[in-house]
Structure 1
Amino acid sequence: MMTHRDTLEVLAAHRRDQVVVTTMGSVGLWPRLSDSPLDFHYLPSSMGQGVPLGLGLCLARPERGVIVLTGDGGLLMNLGCLVTVAQYTVPLYILLIDNGLYEVTGGQSVPNAGRTNFAALARGAGIARVHECATRDEWHAIAGEGLSGSGPVFVWLKVAGEVGKATPVAPRPMEEQIRRLRAALGA
């Protein structure tokens, strides 16, 4: 099984000029691989808001493309976002990091961990381009296609969980991140 870092290393190798929105555990790892003004580290007071943020960015700047890294716990807190996203043809690439845990809030198991079929949920919501990857090689093999073309795209990445991780801190204050992203998008 791949690690969370494995998923991000493959992403770093295949990312083009898209915005990357990180949430929860990815906030602590992605800055080690990328420091682009197009990186936005989102740690809201409520989980599950990364995909709606990514959709908003896509609707505002459809020529750019947005990759959202979300966790299984966060997605479960806002499953309705998949139905909303599916009604649009936008370059939104949702990467679900499924570790079966609320990893950064204490390592509690996510409800129905290991039994929820996130690919079926995405397809059932109306997302046509859905991929599942349990190994780094599988993810590497589809990453180029999975991070390009029309969307939305949903990629279910099954990773090993790590209990005992601290809640990450964004590398910059939110105001600075917003300024950097606006400047990079020409807003």
Structure 2
Amino acid sequence: MSIQVIEACFVISKMRGENTIIVHTMSAMPMISAISPSPLNISSVPLMGGASGIGLGLAIAQPDRKVVVLDGDASLLMELGGMAQIGDEAPANLIHVVFNNNAQFGGVANLDRPGGAAFDFCAVAKASGYATANRYSALPDLIEGGPALIGTPGPHFVELEIATPPKFTRESPQPEFPDMQFERMGTEARAMMDALGVSK
């Protein structure tokens, strides 16, 4: 059993309050942008692997706001040391969610992710010092367990078992990315600074 990206993003959009910051990347990025648009959303593309670091910085800078990171499994592996830093800093307002679809984007193809299904992100989170680490493979479990994290001190780690996407083929190639995909992070950062009243 697994969770669809759109399902997870709907649940997360219901959980967030109006003051919640969301850092998003990879498969969650287009869905959360469409379902829960906000100047308090910021993407981590083209900064591959940077979502958890951005989230940590925002959680420290904005301690009175919840910060939810919607990470990708392969992206998180690129900067796995960020989990140790989150454990060291222990921001109580941070919720780190990884969308684990066991795939990575390889430029023109989606490939099997290193480590495969046996890699235990929750074990890494626990060893790093997160307050909690939970894995959900069914939507009802996320609906039941997710909202409680908003009201309790973290940092919390949530691993979502996401349906593996179909492989790109010659007959079904990788869609071309629009230019805005590589410009949006800066645009969103400026919009967030305006919303937070931070001088540029």
TM-score after normalising by structure 1: 0.91
Give aligned-pair identity as a percent.
26
- Deviation, 1:179, is 1.8
Q: Is 1:173 aligned to residue 198 of structure 2?
A: no
Q: In 2, distance between residues paired with 1:149 and 1:181?
A: 25
Q: Does 1:89 align with 2:90?
A: yes
Structure 1 residue 140 corresponds to structure 2 residue 159: no
Give 1:182 shift.
0.7
- Number of matched residues? 186
- CA deviations 1:148-181 (Å, max 9, x no partner) are 3221110011110113364766497333212210
Structure 2 Cα separation of the partners of residues 72 and 176 of structure 1: 25
Q: 1:111 to 1:31 in 2, by over 3 A?
A: same
DSSP 3-state at the match of 2:89:
coil
Matched, 1:113 2:139: no
Q: Residue in 2 aligned with 1:30?
A: 32
Cα distance in 2 for residues equivalent to 1:137 and 1:144: 12
Q: Which moved more, 1:53-62 or 1:98-107?
A: 98-107
Instruction: Report if the CA contact (8 A) 1:41-1:170 is conserved.
Output: no
- Alignment gaps of 5+ in structure 1: none
Aligned counterparts of 1:2 and 1:103: Cα–Cα separation in 2: 19
Q: Which has the higher contact order (CA 8 A, sep 6+)?
A: 1
1:55-90 Cα deviation digits (max 9, x unpaired): 001111111121111111011111111110011232
Distance 1:172 1:18, change over 3 A: farther
Code of the residue aligned with 1:25 in structure 2: it is: S
Q: Is 1:102 paired with 2:113?
A: no
**1:40 equivalent among 34, 39, 42:** 42
Aligned residue for 2:58, secondary structure, equals: helix
